[in-house]
Amino acid sequence: MSTELRTPNLGRNTGVPLDLDWVESIRVNRSAVERRTATLGGRRTVKKEWQAAWLLKAVACMDLTTLSGDDTAGTVRRLCAKARQPARRELLDELGVPDLKVGAVCVYHEFVETAVNCLAETGIPVAAVSTGFPHGLSPLATKIAEIESSVRAGAKEIDIVISRHLVLNGDWRGLYDEVRAYREACGDAHLKTILATGELGTLRNVGKASAVCMMAGADFIKTSTGKESVNATLEFGLVMVRAIRDYQNRTGFQVGFKPAGGIRQAKQALAWQILMKEELGAAWLEPALFRLGASTLLGDIERQLEHHLTGRYSALNRHPMG
């Protein structure tokens, strides 16, 4: 397949036929990846009002998430209230921000309908984790039925988990066919594929899995479920965003990126935004192509915004979830 730069296709990624020569050609230099990510924070910094603006953009790109075993309808309703009003109104007024909302709310299938009803007429989509999240080891027919059920309940985005054993065994045809089946089950809902990068063994496997999932039609590729021992790292992210760039160069399709798991501090959000800006450009600082999977990050961003205005850090209990 040609590597000639293609004009970006602003529609959804329809996927391309599986190209095993492309997959096998993928190489990753771990030392170079580590050097690049180690210098990321020192190469570019944002301060004062510019930092506040970047943090507000991070909120707009956030998938506000609750994926706990003790979730209830009340938990989800509080989360949706926070999604509609992610920072205290007086803070936003002082910052001159008339309206701010998150990129999406992410929940288990059981609470999709609750979230959809809470977010009616807000424009905030509901994302549902699916396909036997987080392990991904349910029967294929069960996983497809789960996707279809969440779409019928109103989910506009489906965060699926791949079968990690397909990657570890080098079964790229199996991975392609699996993700392709998920893509078809999603219909008009956007497909976000979770690679569970911490369980794939090598950075090269991360690069190959990223390419195969995009070939199969993934609209986003996502690092982690948040349940692995190693979740979103800048090293994994760099490999994945460069796979996104290569895929656009080869096909013209723009694919989104979502780091998730362990992102709790505002400075981490800034590091991910800098990575996107430097590697993919300004288009990947918008919620159409970039999401931050987070549950506790929002509180720290609110504290940083208040510090920008007052010079003081407030207690977390001043920024409740809902």
Helix (H/G/I), strand (E/B), else coil: 293: strand
Q: Which three-class secondary structure string do you get for 52-74? A: HHHHHHHHHCEEEECCCCCCCHH
Q: Which of these is catalytic: 63, 159, 219, 300?
A: 159
Per the annotation, the verdict on 258 as an active-site residue is: yes
Whether the Cβ atoms of residue 131 and residue 178 lie closer than 8 Å to each other: no
Side chain identity at residue 32, one-letter code: A
d(CA 222, CA 228) in angstroms, rounded, equals 13
State the catalytic residue, choosing from 82, 156, 208, 258.
Answer: 258
Specify whether the CB–CB gap between 152 and 185 falls below 8 A: no
Residue ranges of the alpha helices (H) in the chain? 20-24, 30-38, 40-43, 48-60, 73-84, 89-95, 112-118, 140-152, 164-168, 172-186, 203-215, 234-251, 266-279, 297-310
Within 13 Å, how many C-alpha atoms sit on residue 238's CB side?
Answer: 20
Transcribe 138-168 into DSSP letters. S-HHHHHHHHHHHHHTT-SEEEEE--HHHHH
Supply φ then ψ for residue 244, to 5 degrees: -60, -45
**Start-to-end C-alpha separation, the chain:** 50
Q: 41 CB contacts (<8 Å, ≥6 apart)?
A: 267, 271, 274
- Distance, in Å, from the CA atom of 259 to the CA atom of 165, rounded to the nearest integer, reads 21
Contact between residue 18 and residue 212 where contact means Cβ atoms under 8 Å apart: yes
Look-up of token digits 């609110």: 302
**Contact assessment for residue 209 and residue 169, using Cβ atoms and an 8 Å cutoff:** no
Catalytic residue IDs: 159, 222, 258
